[in-house]
Structure 1
Amino acid sequence: MSHIIVNRLFKPSVSRKFLRHINVRLFTSDRPYPFLLVDHILKNPSSTDGGLEKEYSNRRKGNKIFITDKKVMRNVCDAMTVGFSRDGLKFNLTDKGPAIHYKGVSAYLPPLPTGSQVQSLAMSSLPTREKDWVVGVKLSGSRLMVCRPFGRSKLIDIKNAPGCINPSSSLMFSKDDKRFYIPSPGCNYFCYLEEEHDKLEFMGLKFDDIPASVSNEVSELSSCSRTDHLVESPTGNLFLVKWYGEDSEVWMDSDSDSDTDLEKDDENEVSTLKHVTKKFMVYRAGEQSCDYNKTMIYTEDIGDLCMFLGHRQAFCVPASTSPGLKPNCIYFVGRNFGVYDLTTKTCTTFHKDDECPVTRIEFPYWQFSL
């Protein structure tokens, strides 16, 4: 099993070279290490055998890695999206509603409101048959609902959520605080929901001054869109991640029926706009002050941690827990796939050969990891 992904992705010479320079197999009998593949591509972005080509932009301090090989493309997407499934935990959307499966426990949430779409989902713990196990579901239109699948199996609509929560940000559950969190639209408040409550409460934020050099960088983001995501470290530290993106004109095949279709036909090319990740900014929650519940401190150093942002709850783990992960980095998927290095402030995005960023927007992007 250890050679399957590499041999499917690269020609034999590249496969042998890759395996010769690593000491850990891509797979053991019980645990995958798919980020070895991502790490290999980041370190070897101009491999002709792998169908890779690198383009660096000094203006935006970013790398584009073009992947022209279809198998490489599909496996990079798979590696990025299934890299952190945990112990067989699975999620799927059924005709009856969302279903969660874990080690013999299958939980079925009640049917969602007609026409609604799941944007993110968070759980109070790994699935258990305990009556107080809670699942939070953020729907399109800033709608928030919670359910206790083995307690009162009913979706509870949080009435004061619309207009209060950021419609594009992800829901998270803090194991340390025992509550759900989501930023407000302006991100000057954290909206939070206690496990036993059915109304949001609000926590005011104070952002410390950022360094002058960073202020200049922020001024360049005025035309960018932004989503805000809360991440809790394994030790209980709370981080706020601001994800910036900008629109870029690209040419694509009008007959393409797949986001990962690499076939190209010049006669059918049309101009369109694609959203491309530009920058991330990270803030660490500090001590409470007299006037504010939380003080947010800008940081470029999260130590050995890696953060993961996608469709469902954002999370982070120590880089040392999985071979191939790079510390002090943010791995992101969804409208773009790539890695942001907080140390160098370099954003690396994966692209198809037609300039379009790699995209996969079905739910969920990340597998569960709690």
Structure 2
Amino acid sequence: MSHLLRRLRLSLRVSYLPPSSLGLSHMSFIFYFFAFVCLVYLQTIISQRNLTTSSRCFSYYYVRGAESWEPVSGETISVPYLKVPMELLKEIGIIGASHGWVATLKNGVVCLQDDLDLPDTDPKRIPLPPFVTLPHCQTQIVTNVSMSSSSPDDDEDCIVAVKFLGPQLSLCRPAQRDCKWSNIRITDPSFFSSHVMYSKRDETFSMPASRGHYIGSWDLGRHMKEPKIQMLRLPDEAPIPEMTEKKWQRLESCCTKQHYLVESLHTDETFMVKWYTESHPITNNTLNLWDHFLVLKIDKEGNAVYTKDIGHLCILLSKSEAICIPSKSNRKVKNSVYMLREHEFAIVMIDTNQKFCQRPFLPCSLPYYISKRLLI
């Protein structure tokens, strides 16, 4: 009994607490003490249940940049953090984002949800059919997700495309009653690691080949089994006069080379962005990354020319579908590439390839741009 009193005195942080000072015997004191502990425990359980049933747990993470920088004009722009439901980070794997919708994959089932658009309200969630894996393909590693419109819940013509690492591309219409996946086997290995983009101009899902020499396009019509192939024609003379042979060799030796197709609905232009990354190990098991961007402007006939000026546009590259938006109406830097990956955010000027406002990220950041919050 004496050791219980000592614990009680320590918990209350008093030097001496005789039961007689409260007008209680030792047994009565212990009884009321344990009754108090039980009451606190029950209140805690009830409050936790109410929290679970009536509200959702959120955490603040970097999404769509959440950056604060000083662009070339000298103006300081701050973009606040966004609230992200914890289940998106822990319980469900995010595989992509397009038109403001987040695509998640859990137990082989894809779900579209708009938690990042209005996180304080009840989110819309659209479950899609389980994936059907084609022979000699895989459906666990996703390259990216693309959508033809921002209304997969009520637009029966809206198509969702999931590009897997490897030969499989899967398409479906979520708003249709008998929604099911149409699975396409890509035979050209040049597209196995490509990122898919929906072209509103051509009404197809398009991908650049691995070296960026041609583009393949698929749809749910006549180009489902056999893609439409468009060869790109570059000028015969040196595509970029100031690029020496040594610089080209450095780009070709980069460990990572990614190609992105992107359309500007504002100017009706199509661009291909070539993102080269070179890594050098430094201390503390970290890598120093060097990035270089080349931008090609492509017309409807497939004529492609390298450009260092895309006007008052900027291109956003992340794990979402690539986006091209007007810079001024979105308070962003013109003629630039906004790069967003797991551990880094930066603005790269297209004409000089200079990096501005480089920001390190926490490992748990979400490298996605959410287009519903952007003026396209």
Report the TM-score when normalising by structure 2: 0.63
Residues 119 and 363, structure 1, Cα contact 8 Å, conserved in 2: no
Cα 1:141–1:172 change in 2 (3 A) is same
Residues 282 and 288, structure 2, Cα contact 8 Å, conserved in 1: no
Query: 1:143 Cα shift?
Result: 2.4
The 2-side partners of 1:206 and 1:359 are apart by 42
Which letter maps to 2:129? P
Query: 1:245 Cα shift?
Result: 0.3
Cα 1:340–1:121 change in 2 (3 A) is same
What are the residue-to-residue correspondences of 1:148-187 with 2, within 5 Å?
148-151=173-176, 152-161=178-187, 163-167=189-193, 169-187=194-212
Q: Which residue of 2 aligns with 1:144?
A: 169
Residues 276-310 of structure 1 deviation map (CA, whole Å, 9 limit, x = unaligned): 2420000001352xxxxx11111000011010111
The 2-side partners of 1:350 and 1:110 are apart by 40
Cα 1:343–1:160 change in 2 (3 A) is closer
Provide the aligned C-alpha RMSD in A: 3.5
Query: 1:149 Cα shift?
Result: 1.3
Pairing 1:233–2:257 present? no
Query: 1:364 Cα shift?
Result: 6.3
Residues 181-237 of structure 1 deviation map (CA, whole Å, 9 limit, x = unaligned): 101122211010134242223111112241321245433323213110001002321
Q: Which residue of 2 aligns with 1:213?
A: 242
**Percent identity among equivalent residues?**
24
What are the residue-to-residue correspondences of 1:104-119 with 2, within 5 Å?
106-112=125-131, 113=133, 116-119=140-143
SS state of the match for residue 321, structure 1?
Answer: coil
Residues 334-363 of structure 1 deviation map (CA, whole Å, 9 limit, x = unaligned): 2542111113321347365xxxxx475887
What are the residue-to-residue correspondences of 1:260-279 with 2, within 5 Å?
271=285, 274=287, 276-279=289-292
Q: Which residue of 2 aligns with 1:365?
A: 368
Equivalences, count: 273
Residues 91 and 99, structure 1, Cα contact 8 Å, conserved in 2: yes
Residues 148 and 154, structure 1, Cα contact 8 Å, conserved in 2: yes
Structure with the bigger RCO (C-alpha within 8 Å, sep 6+) is 1
Residues 87-144 of structure 1 deviation map (CA, whole Å, 9 limit, x = unaligned): 9744433446222235986432222347612220110111242322100101122421
Residues 122 and 313, structure 1, Cα contact 8 Å, conserved in 2: yes
Gaps of 5+ in 1: 1-32, 45-71, 79-84, 253-270, 289-293, 353-357
Cα 1:327–1:108 change in 2 (3 A) is same
Cα 1:344–1:88 change in 2 (3 A) is closer
SS state of the match for residue 190, structure 1?
Answer: strand
SS state of the match for residue 298, structure 1?
Answer: strand
The 1-side partners of 2:232 and 2:173 are apart by 30
What are the residue-to-residue correspondences of 1:330-345 with 2, within 5 Å?
330-335=337-342, 336-345=344-353
Residues 109 and 128, structure 2, Cα contact 8 Å, conserved in 1: yes
Residues 170 and 312, structure 1, Cα contact 8 Å, conserved in 2: no
Cα 1:172–1:277 change in 2 (3 A) is farther
Cα 1:215–1:166 change in 2 (3 A) is farther
The 1-side partners of 2:65 and 2:218 are apart by 34
Cα 1:166–1:218 change in 2 (3 A) is farther
Which letter maps to 1:332? M
Query: 1:150 Cα shift?
Result: 2.1
The 2-side partners of 1:317 and 1:177 are apart by 19
Pairing 1:249–2:293 present? no
The 1-side partners of 2:66 and 2:340 are apart by 17
Q: Which has the larger radius of gyration?
A: 2
The 1-side partners of 2:354 and 2:68 are apart by 16
Cα 1:136–1:361 change in 2 (3 A) is farther
Gaps of 5+ in 2: 1-62, 85-96
Which letter maps to 1:98? V
Which residue, out of 119, 140, 145, partners 1:121?
A: 145
The 1-side partners of 2:99 and 2:215 are apart by 31
Cα 1:195–1:321 change in 2 (3 A) is farther
Cα 1:100–1:296 change in 2 (3 A) is same
Residues 3-50 of structure 1 deviation map (CA, whole Å, 9 limit, x = unaligned): xxxxxxxxxxxxxxxxxxxxxxxxxxxxxx987843238889xxxxxx
Cα 1:363–1:127 change in 2 (3 A) is farther
The 2-side partners of 1:275 and 1:136 are apart by 34
Residues 269 and 297, structure 2, Cα contact 8 Å, conserved in 1: yes
Q: Which residue of 1 aligns with 2:230?
A: 203
Cα 1:40–1:146 change in 2 (3 A) is same
The 2-side partners of 1:86 and 1:121 are apart by 7
The 1-side partners of 2:271 and 2:102 are apart by 26
